[in-house]
A and B are shown apart, each in its own frame.
Chain A
Amino acid sequence: MDQYYLNLIAIGGSFALYIGIAVWARAGSTDEFYAAGRGIHPVTNGMATAADWMSAASFISMAGLIAFNGYSASAYLMGWTGGYVLLALCLAPYLRKFGSFTVPEFIGDRYYSRTARLVAVLCLIVASLTYVIGQMTGVGVAFSRFLQVENDTGLFIGAGVVFFYAVLGGMKGVTYTQVAQYVVLVFAYTVPAIFISLQLTGNPIPGLGLFSEFEATGEPLLTTLNKTLADLGFASYTEQDSDPSAIINMTLFTLTLMIGTAGLPHVIIRFFTVPKVSDARLSAGWALVFIAIVYLTAPAVGAMARMNIMSTIWPGGTGENAQAIELDALPPWFENWGTTGLLGWEDKNGDGRLQYFDSDGDTLPPVAVASGSDENELTNFNRDILVLANAEIARLPSWVIALVAAGGMAAALSTAAGLLMAISSAVSHDLIKRSINPNISDKAELMWARGSMAAAIAVATWLGLNPPGFAAQTVALAFGIAAATIFPVLIMGVFTHRVNNKGAVAGMVSGLVFTVVYIFLHKGWFFVPDTNQFADTIEGALFGIQSTAIGCVGAAINFIVAFVVSAQTEDTPQEIRDMVENVRVPRAA
């Protein structure tokens, strides 16, 4: 069957499933809309959390980052999973016991402060909106590549489907669609990887294949990859940059991603949906099981794709007299992706062959000299196409390509819905119910909740159609803010009585201002190009710390300021101390 119709069936079928679930899982009360009635089984919630968490970036970009950065991209693997240890041990059980609907609600009540609540709402909205734009544009890109519709049309269709199940079902609808989306996503990610691992190493489990023998050479895959890269003048795949500042930056970046993960509201609120405190602890473990299935596969996808690209371009190996592939013999995926502008090549020496090597070094690699080329001819390789093109690169059957299309869409939509849920509940519950009109009835609040969801989707769609400059800065901005503002006040809220309202507000504001100003100093004020005072590199950065790794420093400032201010001001009231004591034990008071 034609590839186009296979893609249409895969994407259309998965969308029909999501809509079916929406009709079945409607929300009738605020309890159902905000927390799915607190009746979700911990394994079910774990699966929904995995889909909620794994975004278009995890699905599409991460393997590409690993393929082209090798070892140093491990920061993403560890950072985006290590946060779950913090969630399970230090946050999820206590916040579940507290029983709030939103993250700002806990902050506002624990610090008995409207200002704290509003600062938390502000941080939540900035972090979540930054994050959601990437998901919306991801849906548009996936539609245009796989179904040949306009980017904008694709975005409207995606937003329409989210509208249907999120407005109707709230957290309840979102939970069950996320479970379905997880299943689509995990098959789409692992099936091509299993095929490729079998082709290269004969091992059906990609995560193990990564450390197995490469069948073509009989040596371990990573040894062969390192040798090939060395022959072509590229940096080693597995080696660590021994420069101390590189090591420090990788450590801080990993830490920022970890505490940012634990502080992102759309992940935390998922743990409000389970029945018990013990379920919240267990559910974080299940979430990580389902995430790990993808995250243990991702490094294999990265290394194997890099290997496949090298052996496509240098079919005879990279020994001294090797010849690069003839342009006429290039596989069809070159043409397919070349037309999208994400892949580019140019026969600079006019020999009818495509030489790909690193020509930025001091000396040319011998294989380049032997093949009569002094310039790299693969001029553009966008690393984001790697996962989407992977099935084509490995010449897999066309139904696998259709599956990848549906999977990319599922990853983007599930995360978008979770983020919109966090935004809309903060607006209807924290702004309207808890700040403006506390006497509002449950029925009226449910109306507001649906209305805020519809408005949030409209804003996200508009931002997806007109992506602002900060859309690409999700990792710096969203993780930086979550790490420097939300994570520290939640930890202090549970683990100490001493921090009071003034301490929390001062801590959050100083963490926020420090982190955002530091990011602006390196990435430009409000991300306007060329308004940055420092280069966004390790060497050029103020304090020698890259802006993406600064969130953990902002968190440290938040902790210090909160303790100092609390020590200088009045003690926390007795009822708040009792509240903290109560949050710490699972049994109801």
Chain B
Amino acid sequence: MNDTPRRPSDAPGYWKANVRTILGCLAIWALVSFGFSILLRPALAGIEFGGTDLGFWFAQQGSIITFLILIFFYAWRMNKLDRQYGVEED
């Protein structure tokens, strides 16, 4: 490429930041699917949604939409972290 030296990379710091991001995303992943859709559905029963309650929507569609947002957020966030810690691909 060119003569400028590569920035030093901080692999351990990168991995810690990555694991923190993963745990945050998985907390939301579990909250919408196991939480809102199943275990916490009775707590959401009062919130009406399209002829039924919000928990039913989360179980049939809301979880899937949340999963999509989570994956694209993670891909975007990791590209940023890759550059920040100097571990991005050539």
Min CB–CB distance B26 → chain A (angstroms) = 7
Q: Does A587 contact B89, Cβ atoms closer than 8 Å?
A: yes
Chain A residues near B84 (CB-CB < 8 A):
none
**A153-B63 Cα distance, complex, nearest whole Å:** 41
**Chain A positions 186 through 212: 1 when the CB is less than 8 Å from some CB of chain B, otherwise 0:** 000000000000000000000100111
Q: Are A220 and B50 in contact (CB under 8 A)?
A: yes
Interface string of A569-589 (1 = CB under 8 A from B): 000000000000100111110
Complex CA distance for A221 and B14, rounded to whole angstroms: 49
Contact A250 B38 (CB under 8 A): yes
Is B37's CB under 8 angstroms from A211's CB?
Answer: no
Q: Are A78's CB and B63's CB within 8 A?
A: yes
Closest to A589 in B: B11
Distance (Å) between the CB of B14 and the closest chain A CB?
6
Q: Give the distance in Å from the alpha carbon of A295 to the alpha carbon of B61 in the complex.
A: 8
Known: A251-B38, A586-B89, A587-B90. Is A84-B59 also a contact (CB below 8 A)? Answer: no
Q: How many residues of A contact B (CB 8 A)?
A: 53
B59 touches A78 (CB 8 A): yes
Q: Chain A, 365-386, contact with B by CB distance < 8 Å: what is the 0/1 string? A: 0000000000000000000000
Query: With A288-B67, A292-B65 as given contacts, are A585 and B14 in contact (CB-CB < 8 Å)?
Result: yes
Task: Known contacts A81-B63, A88-B71, A588-B89; decide if A222 and B33 are in contact (CB<8 Å).
Answer: no
Contact residues of B between 35 and 73, Cβ < 8 Å to A = 37-39, 41-42, 49-53, 55-57, 59-61, 63-65, 67-68, 70-72
User: CB distance A221 to B51 under 8 Å?
Assistant: yes
**When A78-B64, A281-B78, A585-B87 are in contact, do A219 and B72 touch as well, CB less than 8 Å?**
no
Tell me which of B37, B39, B67 contacts A74 (CB under 8 A): B37
Q: Which residue of B lies closest to A299 (CB)?
A: B60
Task: Specify the chain B residue showing the minimal Cβ separation from A213.
Answer: B51
Return chain B residues, CB-CB under 8 Å to A66.
60
B83 to chain A, nearest CB (A): 10
Does A399 touch B at the CB level, under 8 Å? no
**289-320 of chain A: CB within 8 A of chain B:** 289, 292, 295-296, 299
A285 on interface, CB distance cutoff 8 Å: yes
Identity of the chain A residue whose Cβ is nearest the Cβ of B41 in the assembled complex: A240
Q: Are B51 and A299 in contact (CB under 8 A)?
A: no
Q: Are A295 and B64 in contact (CB under 8 A)?
A: yes
A584 touches B59 (CB 8 A): no
Q: Do residues A88 and B75 form an inter-chain contact, with CB atoms below 8 A?
A: yes
The answer to whether the Cβ of A89 comes within 8 Å of any Cβ in the partner chain is: yes
Contact B89 A276 (CB under 8 A): yes
Q: Is the CB of A581 within 8 A of B11?
A: yes
Min C-beta distance of B55 to chain A, whole Å? 7
Q: Out of B42, B71, B79, B87, which one reaches A284, CB within 8 Å?
A: B71
User: Which residue of chain B has the shortest Cβ distance to A246 in the bound complex?
Assistant: B38
Q: Residue B87 contacts which of A78, A90, A586 (CB distance < 8 angstroms)?
A: A586
- A82–B50 CB distance below 8 A: no
Please give, as numbers and ranges, the residues of chain B lying within 8 Å of A240 by CB-CB distance. 38, 41-42, 55
Give Cα distance in the complex from A186 to B37, angstroms.
Answer: 26
B60 neighbours in A (Cβ, 8 Å): 66, 71, 74, 77, 210, 299
Identify which of B51, B55, B67 contacts A222 (C-beta below 8 A): B51
Evaluate contact between A222 and B50: CB separation under 8 angstroms.
Answer: yes
In the bound complex, do residue B38 and residue A81 qualify as a contact, i.e. CB atoms below 8 Å apart? no
Residue of B53, B78, B87 near A587 (CB, 8 A) is B87
Known contacts A78-B33, A81-B63, A587-B90; is-contact A88 B9 (Cβ 8 Å)? no
What is the distance, in angstroms, from A214's C-beta to the closest C-beta of chain B?
8
Residues of A within 8 A of B22 (CB): 89-90
Contacts of B65 in A (CB 8 A): 292, 296
* Pair A210/B50 contact, Cβ less than 8 Å: yes
Most buried by B among A71, A212, A247: A71
Chain B contacts of A285 at CB under 8 A? 68, 71-72, 75
Picked from B38, B49, B78, B89, the residue with its CB within 8 Å of the CB of A254 is B38
What residues on A are CB-neighbors of B71 within 8 Å? Answer: 84-85, 88-89, 281, 284-285, 288
With CB as the reference atom, state the residue of chain B lying closest to A288. B68
Judge whether A247 and B39 touch: CB under 8 Å. yes
Interface membership of A264, Cβ < 8 A? no
Given A85-B67, A278-B82, CB of A585 within 8 Å of CB of B41: no
A-B contact pairs, 13 of them (CB 8 A): A74-B37, A78-B59, A82-B33, A84-B67, A89-B26, A211-B57, A219-B51, A238-B56, A296-B61, A296-B65, A584-B18, A586-B87, A588-B89
